[in-house]
Amino acid sequence: MRLELRYERLIQATPTRVFDLFTSPAGQRELYGNDAPGWVVDSRCELRVGGAWEIAFGPSPGELYRHRHVFEAIERPRRLLLATTETRLDGSRFPFSTEFTFAPRDGATLMTMTQWGFPSDELRDEHGRGVPHAFDRLERALWA
């Protein structure tokens, strides 16, 4: 079992269009936006392998959450691979991997986002071992 979160959207535009909008400053701000009055999004991106996309977002300048994505692969317009670090309110950090793929699908784009590498990734099955009941419960929670 690999603990993996996957999201898909069928977007009515070509992969190149979706990829370019996704990596544009406006698209990046939109991703972390919110309609709440006063919502803050500060996005800074250096779109190159090894470059960082850093986002601070939240309900006010005094209450900001932070994501830092480091580009590990940029394959326009097909794929982005990011090493993501989520910084918690207490300052501790939570790293995981994030991959975006943009596949043509009937004139549109199937955009897929996959996240893995959570600390729980270590829970994956081991050869020759059964799966503890507790894992079944966690997996059900993941895929509910």
Partner 1 sequence: MAFSSLRPEHGRHYVGRAPEGGQSYTEPIGALSLTLDATFFALSDPTRRGILERLSRGSATLSQLAGPSGLTLNGIKKHVGILELAGLVETEKIGRVRECRLGPATTLGEAGEWIEAHRRAWEGRLDRFERFVERAR
Positions touching partner 1 (CB under 8 A) are: 3, 5, 7, 9, 11-13, 17-18, 21-22, 26-27, 30-33, 57-58, 65, 86-90, 92, 94, 111, 113, 115, 118-120, 122-123, 126, 129-135, 137-138, 140-142, 144
Minimum CB separation from partner 1 for residue 6, in Å? 10
Helix (H, G, I), strand (E, B) or coil at 144: coil
Taking the least distance from each CB to partner 1, the nearer of 9 and 44 is: 9
Taking the CA atoms of 24, 51, 71 and 123 in sequence, report the sign of the dihedral they define.
negative
Q: Least distance from C-beta 127 to partner 1, angstroms?
A: 11
Residue with tokens 């919110």: 34
Distance of closest approach, residue 39 Cβ to partner 1, in angstroms: 10
Q: Which residue, 50 or 106, has its beta carbon nearer to partner 1?
A: 106
Q: How far is the CB of 28 from partner 1 (least distance, A)?
A: 9
Peptide bond into 25 cis (omega under 30): no
Closest CA to 79 of 104, 56, 54: 104
Pairing of strands 4-11, 40-45: unpaired
Smallest separation (angstroms) from partner 1 to the CB of 8: 9
Q: Please tell me what DSSP assigns to residue 88.
A: P
Residue with tokens 């009515």: 12
What is d(CA 141, CA 139) in angstroms, rounded to the nearest whole number?
5
Nearer CB in complex with partner 1: 48/126:
126
